[in-house]
Structures are given as C-alpha cells and as structure tokens.
Structure 1
Amino acid sequence: MTQVPPSQSPTHFKFCSFDIYGTLIDWEGGIANALLTSAPIASLPDSHKLKTRAYILETYEREERKLQQEQPGLEYSKLLAEVYRRVLKAEGIEITPDVEKTSDDFAHSIGTWPAFPDTVKAMQTLGKYYKLAPLSNVDNASFSRTLSGPLKDVNFSAIYTAQDIGSYKPDPRNFEYLVSHVEKDFGIKKDEIWHIAQSLHHDHVPTTEGGFETGVWVDRKGAMGEVSGELKERAKYGWRVGSLGELADIVEEAWAKEGKQP
C-alpha cells in the first residue's frame, strides 16, 4: 500500500472506471443488514458470533473471495446465495428448504444496498469531466437493480461486469477487458483511464501490476477489504481520499486551476 507521486494531473484522464460495491455502494451496510435480518440469523441468540457485525462481515468476505476463485464463471446472484449458505454452514447451521429460499432472498437484496451519501452528487460532478463506467464483480441483472435503485441518478457511458467478462477481479482478464473495450468503444487509450476503487486486493494490486496510470484509493475505512501484509507492498495508488465527494473537489479544483475545458 504505497502512495506514489501521480505522473499525471486529473485533467489528463478521459475515462473513469469504478469499483461499485464498496466504493459507490455501501456494501458492508447492505450485506450486514440483509444477513442480520434474515430469519435464520435473526433467530439466533444474541450471544451467537453471527450476531456480531464485524464477525459476520469477516466470514462473508472470506467465503466470497474463496468462491470467486473456485468458480470464476459463476453468476454473481448465484454466488451471493451460495456464500450465504456457506456462512451458515461454517457455523453448523442446517441448510433446510426455508434456508435455501432465504439464500435467494439475500441474493436479490443487492438492489437495496444503499449508495454512500456522497456518491450520487460526486458522480454527477465527475461526469462533467469524464466518461464513467463500472468495472464490477457483478452480474447484469443484479447491477440493473442497483442502477434502477440507489444509482438511478448516475449516468454511465458503458457497463463492464464480471458476467460479461467471465471472471472476477482481481483476475487480470477483467482489466484487459476494460482496456480493450474502452479503446474500441471510445478511442481512449489505457493511460487515459483513471481507476477509482476501495479495494486494494480486487483493484489496486491488479492495476499496479497491469501498468495502469496511478489510480485513486477511496479509503472508506470499512471492516472488509484487506489493507495489510503483502498488499502493502504490491498496491500503489496516486491519490487517497476518504470519499468520492473529496475526489470530486480535487477534480474541479484541478480543471479550474489549469484552465482546461473537458
């Protein structure tokens, strides 16, 4: 996790790609609420480990990451349902037909996961200067729920999902897909793509190793998202912000100071 001097001004870039869940969407809040209010978990005694937000998020993240590696082509909604079942299995909870239904309900909860308070306004500001697109570990139907819900006032120029790509970040294929499609669709080169994300593991390590221009680490300081050990050595970024709102202010200041027009 190394901040390096950016080689380019924000005005150099033409295209912003984003991690969505964790960067634009409060996935920790959405996941925790959906898990803790689901019947099998809500009915557990208050002393149970799964009733602790930090523990359930840690367990969820571990199981999700493992499953993404095991089955990179698995549709994200099905992955969410299976992760839910694995979280319960890890605690010795029987997977009954009722639990199977609850796992599907959890998978469909993604459209209710809220945007961070700064997201929509900041994305509207960034959209004045750049083309915007998600590069997200999600399936198209699930992302459409987010687009028609918390991100309904955000306009994207393109949508790049794990379902279309056939693998999950941090697989380098996801970033190769981004580069090839941005050039083909918009005539924009790799060094003009600004990648903006919360996850070091899923985003900043592969962009560092893939030779991207230094990106933006949106440090939401959440419970999920590894920020220690090996990742500190491998992940590099040029800007570190606590919110997209902070980034939008940096961008507007840079364009005004340099007297450029988007």
Structure 2
Amino acid sequence: MTTPRLTDQKALIFDVYGTLIDWETGLHSAAPLQPRTTFLQTYLDHESALQTANPTMLYSTLVSEVFSKLSLPAPPISSWPAFPDTAAALQILKKHFKLIVLSNVDKASFATSLPRLGGDGVFDLVVTAEDVGAYKPDLKGFEWVLKEVKERWGIEKEQVMSVANSLFHDHIPAKKLGLKGVWIRRPGAVMGVEGMDMTTKREWEYDTLGEMAESVEREVTDGEN
C-alpha cells in the first residue's frame, strides 16, 4: 500500500478555535482561579447543549449565554490569542493548498480573529456556522464546503483534508464523509478531546500546525531531489 502524502491533497478545511486560535486560554481567562480542565469541560457541556438546541444562534450570543449560566462575564472573542505558530504555518501551507475555514462562529466574530491569522487573503474560502445555520459536529458545514470546493476548483473530496484539534467537532464528522484528517494535538487541549474515542482514524498527527507545515516543506524538497 502506498503511504499517503500530505502534498497529494489539494485543500485543507481548518477548524479555527482550538486549532489556530487558543480558545481554551481565551475562555479560561474569565475564570483563572478555577481548575482549567474542569472549567473548560463544564463550558463545553453548556455550549454543545445550546448549539444543538439553537443551531442558528449567533456564536457571540451563544458564548454570552453560556457565561451567563456560569455567572461570569464573557471574554470577548476578539481577545482570544492565536497559537504562536499559526500565522507563519498558514503562510507556508498557502503555497501548496487551498485554505478553507469551517468554524463554529459568526462572521463578525471571525473577522476580529482574522488579523491574528495573517489578515485578508490568507484563506480562499470562509464558511461559518452563521452561513450554514448549523454547528459542527453537524455534517451540513462539511457538505457545504465540499460542494463549494468542487464547484470553485474542481477538487474532489478525496483530495480534501480536515485539519483540526477537536475529535468531537471535526474529526469524527469528517470521517463520516470519508475525508482524510490531520490531528493538530495542541498538547493539553481539553474541549472536544477529553473523553473522546482516541481511535478515531487520522492519517497524520502533529503537536502543532507549525510541525505540519515543516512536514509539507520536507515533502516538497524531497520531491525535488
């Protein structure tokens, strides 16, 4: 069997919050004295329940609702930091792939994070929960993206990869559609990882997006030699 190569693919579907943006640090900043893992898991339980019950609620509103339930002020999404390797890695990956966002966020909130990711022009397509009217792990967002990728660039799903940290939000639904996966582990990550089935198949695994970008560059260099 031929070993799959990252550079055989043509498009990457990125989760943003948890993969590119350090949402766990951003969220926990509202309750720094509470145990991190316990707080984040409690937050995620409330968030997932609200997303299921209110699939068209704007994400910024949903975050405020969750923090209201927790009797805490909601930290603004615009304050959530990017992981230190994100922007540089995206610039490398952009040379080799179409870069697509599929995020459980609203358009206005994503716009506040975009400067930390490299600004306008980094991504070839941005699809949010607001566009789709559903939150991941619902398959609608992935199906929407695959349709757009096919119509815009003639790229079949066999050449599309899901690049994400969350098993719950991204890798499990992506695998249901037969997509290849790159797990960005982000060591210490809790939400969408803790308690999940760790046998969910991923073709590639890296601690950071920077490490993935380095692997892509090595493949390109090796192919030229």
Report what 2:217 is aligned to. 252
Which of 178, 184, 191 is the aligned partner of 1:211? Answer: 178
Distance 1:240 1:152 in 2: 24
2:14 maps to a residue whose letter is F
In 1: Cα distance, 2:113 partner to 2:2 partner: 32
The alignment status of 1:69 with 2:52, answered yes or no, reads: yes
Which residue identity is paired with 2:110?
F
Matched, 1:14 2:10: yes
Quick one: distance in 2 between partners of 1:152 and 1:259?
A: 28
Matches within 5 A, 1:19-168: 19-33=15-29, 35-36=30-31, 51-88=34-71, 102-103=73-74, 106=75, 109-148=76-115, 150-153=116-119, 155-168=122-135
Q: Which residue of 1 aligns with 2:149?
A: 182
| Equivalent position amino acid for 2:224 in 1 | G
- Using the size of structure 2 for normalisation, the TM-score is 0.92
Identify the range of structure 1 (16-25 vs 185-194) with the bigger mean alpha-carbon deviation: 185-194
SS in structure 2 opposite 1:160?
strand
Residues 6 and 239, structure 1, Cα contact 8 Å, conserved in 2? no
Q: Which moved more, 1:219-228 or 1:239-248?
A: 219-228
Q: For residue 95 of structure 1, what is the aligned residue in structure 2?
A: none
CA 183–62 in structure 1, closer or farther in 2 if over 3 Å, else same: same
Distance 2:209 2:159 in 1: 19
Verify the 8 A CA contact 1:197 1:203 in the aligned structure 2: yes
- Indicate the SS of the match to 1:249: helix
Percent identical residues: 39
- Equivalents in 1 of 2:126, 2:44: separation in Å? 24
- Go from structure 1 to structure 2 and tell me whether the alpha carbon gap of 1:121 and 1:152 turns closer, same or farther (over 3 Å shift): closer
Paired position in structure 1 for 2:186: 220
TM-score, scaled relative to structure 1: 0.79
Q: Is 52-61 or 173-182 further displaced after alignment?
A: 52-61
Distance in 2 separating the partners of 1:226 and 1:115:
19
Instruction: Report the Cα distance in structure 2 between the residues aligned to 1:151 and 1:219, rounded to whole angstroms.
Output: 18
Deviation at 1:176, TM superposition (A): 0.5
Instruction: State the alpha-carbon separation in 2 of the partners of residues 9 and 123 from structure 1.
Output: 18
C-alpha RMSD of matched pairs (Å): 2.0
Structure 2 residues not aligned, in runs of 5+: none
What displacement does 1:7 show? Answer: 5.7
Paired with 2:141 and 2:2, the residues of 1 have a C-alpha distance of: 23
Task: Summarize deviations over 1:18-56 as a string: whole Å, max 9, x none.
Answer: 0000000011111111x127xxxxxxxx6xxxx333322
Unaligned runs of 5+ in 1: 38-45, 89-98
* Number of equivalenced pairs: 223
Alpha-carbon distance in structure 2 between the residues aligned to 1:184 and 1:73: 25
Q: Normalized per residue, which structure has more helix?
A: 1
Q: Kindly report structure 1 stretches of 4+ aligned residues shifted beyond 4 Å.
A: none
- The separation in 1 between residues aligned to 2:2 and 2:99, in whole angstroms, is 20
Report the secondary structure of 2:123's partner residue: coil
What's 1:40 paired with? Answer: none
